[in-house]
Amino acid sequence: MDFRELDRLNRRDLLRGTAMLGAGAAFMQPLPLLAQAGSMSDVRKAVEAGKDASIKRLRDWIALPSIAAENRNMTEGAAYMAELAKDAGFTNVEIVPTDGHPGVFGTIDVGAKRTLGIYFMYDVKQYDPAEWSSPPLEGKMVDRPGFGQSIMGRGAVNQKGPEATFLAALHAIRAAGRKLPVNIVLVCEGEEEIGSPHFRQIATKPNILAALKKCEGIFIPMPGQDSSGNVAVNLGSKGIIELELVASGEKWGRGPKKDVHSSLKAMVDSPAWRLVQALQTLVTKDGNTPAIEGWFENVRPLTEREKTLIREAAKADNDEAQMKQALGVTHWIDNLSYDDALIRLAQEPTVNIEGLVAGYTGPGGKTVLPGRAVAKLDLRLVPNQTRAEAEKKLRAHLDKHGFTDVEVNVSGGYDPTEVDEKSSLIRSELATYKKLGVNASLNARMAGSWPGATFTAPPVSIPAGHFGIGHGSGAHAPDEYYLIDSTNPKVAGLVDATMGYAEFLYTLAAIK
């Protein structure tokens, strides 16, 4: 999931822009007591009885890494996802081919009045075992101070842990002898970690599109609790384009077609410097603001209400120093105040360099003049920008500035997402959190990205968001983990997180 969690830090703490609902709830009963006191005791007993099976299901899933960027285990990953769906009660399960890696689709139709969509991804990010304190595919139990016993492995929190927990809720409801209160449509892809380049093909397949259009909304499971037990309800997220800019002697017609000795720089042009010059035109001199012609033409600024939400959250949380320490920074961009920096985080589109690759990058020096240089970029988009518009403007900008030879290789991306807080999906999320005793907040716009626009835009046109309690961290990073047995009374472990999804299904079915 491209929430771009920064080095094992809690996503909510980094991408916030929120105002607390029900502030003042400084202390909560442990979540197990709340769940046991409700009308779901039979489901809870089934969840507890199935806990070991739920852990094994997640551990086995972690052991099968499907990595789209490496074309690793993609066929096997889709087949495994399909079996997980069937085992949880989905019917009409199909592996959906695309021009890239396949997706998975399935439904549960119990004749209910309402239908809920669920978005899954079965792919995970790359990993280097040498950077991990525990083997990334073994799913070992480790202690995370302040949280409790957690399962560690690639995909543990992004996204197999929360997804397996939602499946556990379906298993438990069936084991309790209950009928699901809503119909469910499952749509899953295997390319989220490379920008979902073919996901639209899945969502708009005629039978899948017809099923999605019946949904009240769709959500991706997310363990959203921080150490205080708080969660954020996202009202949107930025879009993204992932791409490479490539400068080469071959395309340029100047400089070498392959690496040559660096002494020749006195008489030979450098594709690496060519790329640097092209990059410098994309942003202002300080690198902080996109300078691509027309980039801000369709940008929708935050409303005054959205800005107020962010300022109130900054004032209430009062954790600027902690956030700076966690990020390893001493100043915000342009020396902005904390709340202005948070507004900028939510409001501004960005042009970011993820990596630069050219010539020799190993130990010591190697006197070469590279024949090819590559910059890996991500461009974050805000409403009302679109991926198609942004790609067109980037190409036109480079051409206008004389860089017609610099290649733009887009690997994936999608538009920004927005959801109405008055939708039954968002109201059900807030009502469920309230029922569980979890302090919820409205997040004006998440600075990270996910392909929710595939659902919110035509032809699907349904609300899309995130929901879930529990905790995990380390997405895209070493030592990724997902909380199983919580020692923090304000944060849900596996059993309570499973109950959270069960409660949500019943809440959605009853919401007015």
Distance CA 104, CA 123 (A): 12
Q: Is 362 exposed, middle or buried (0-12, 13-18, 19+ CB in 10 A)?
A: exposed
Instruction: Report yes or no on 205 lying in a domain.
Output: yes
Q: What is the DSSP string of 284-318?
A: -TTS-SB-STTTTTT--PPPHHHHHHHHHHHHHH-
Sign of CA dihedral 38, 29, 494, 511: positive
Shared domain check, 283 and 157? no
Q: Are 484 and 151 in contact (CB under 8 A)?
A: yes
pLDDT number for residue 112: 98
pTM value is: 0.89
Q: Are 88 and 171 in contact (CB under 8 A)?
A: yes
**SS3 label, residue 234:** strand
Query: In this structure, what are the phi and psi dihedrals at residue 303, rounded to the nearest 5 degrees?
Result: -75, 165
Instruction: Report yes or no on 209 lying in a domain.
Output: yes
Mean pLDDT per block of 10 residues along the chain (512 residues) reads 42 37 35 58 97 98 97 98 98 97 98 98 97 97 96 97 98 98 98 95 98 98 91 93 97 96 97 98 97 97 90 77 88 94 95 95 94 97 96 98 98 94 96 94 89 96 97 94 97 97 97 90
Shared domain check, 420 and 394? no
Distance CA 509, CA 41 (A): 19
Instruction: Report yes or no on 309 lying in a domain.
Output: no
Q: What is the DSSP string of 435-479?
A: HHT--EEEES-BSS--TTHHHHSTTT---EEEE--S-EE-TTSTT
Domain's final residue, options 380, 396, 414: 414
Instruction: Report yes or no on 312 lying in a domain.
Output: no
Distance CA 57, CA 168 (A): 9
Peptide bond just before 459 cis, omega within 30 deg: yes
Which residues have a Cβ under 8 Å from the Cβ of 210 and sit 6 or more positions away?
none
Q: Are 172 and 53 in contact (CB under 8 A)?
A: no
Pairing of the two strands 218-221 and 464-467: parallel
**477 bridge partner residues:** none
Sign of CA dihedral 141, 232, 469, 317: positive
Instruction: Count Cα atoms within 13 angstroms, Cβ side, for 275.
Output: 27
Q: Are 281 and 400 in contact (CB under 8 A)?
A: no
Shared domain check, 294 and 431? no
**SS3 label, residue 413:** strand
User: Six-digit token pair at 37?
Assistant: 């006191």
pLDDT number for residue 18: 36
CA 220 and chain centroid, separation: 9
Instruction: Please report, for the domain that includes residue 355, its CATH number.
Output: 3.30.70.360
- The alpha-helical segments, DSSP class H, found in 116-254 are 161-175, 199-203, 206-212, 249-252
Q: How is the beta sheet containing 140-144 ordered, strand by strand?
A: 140-144, 148-152, 481-486, 472-473
DSSP H or E run through 253:
none
Our CA angle for 61, 132, 57, nearest 5°, is 15
Shared domain check, 391 and 245? yes
Q: Are 169 and 499 in contact (CB under 8 A)?
A: yes
In one-letter notation, the amino acid at residue 191 is E
Shared domain check, 391 and 464? no
Q: Are 316 and 19 in contact (CB under 8 A)?
A: yes
Which residues have a Cβ under 8 Å from the Cβ of 30 and sit 6 or more positions away?
489, 490
| Residue position matching structure tokens 């626009």 | 453
Shared domain check, 281 and 177? no
Instruction: Report yes or no on 317 lying in a domain.
Output: no
Distance CA 264, CA 353 (A): 28
Instruction: Report yes or no on 337 lying in a domain.
Output: no
pLDDT number for residue 1: 55
Distance CA 42, CA 164 (A): 20
Alpha carbon distances (Å) from 339 to 228, 316, 427, 448, 449 = 21, 11, 27, 18, 21
Peptide bond just before 409 cis, omega within 30 deg: no
pLDDT number for residue 37: 46
Show the domain range for 173.
Answer: 11-238+416-510
Can you give the length of the chain in residues? Answer: 512
Instruction: Report yes or no on 45 lying in a domain.
Output: yes
Distance CA 444, CA 464 (A): 14
**SS3 label, residue 406:** coil
Question: 3-state SS string over 331-373?
Answer: CCHHHCCHHHHHHHHHHCCEEEEEEEEECCCCCCCCCEECCEE
Could you give the maximum distance between any two Cα atoms of the chain, in Å?
A: 80
Shared domain check, 245 and 232? no
Domain's final residue, options 414, 442, 471: 414
Instruction: Report yes or no on 323 lying in a domain.
Output: no
State how many domains the chain has: 2
Shared domain check, 250 and 203? no
Distance CA 277, CA 448 (A): 28
Shared domain check, 429 and 397? no
Shared domain check, 255 and 212? no
Please name which of 445, 447, 449 lies closest in space to residue 309, comparing C-alpha atoms: 445
Shared domain check, 482 and 458? yes
pLDDT number for residue 2: 52
Pairing of the two strands 239-248 and 372-381: antiparallel
Count of other CB atoms within 10 angstroms of residue 261 = 11
Shared domain check, 256 and 225? no
Instruction: Please report, for the domain that includes residue 201, its CATH number.
Output: 3.40.630.10
For 15-69, list the strands marked E by DSSP: 18-21
Domain's final residue, options 414, 440, 469: 414
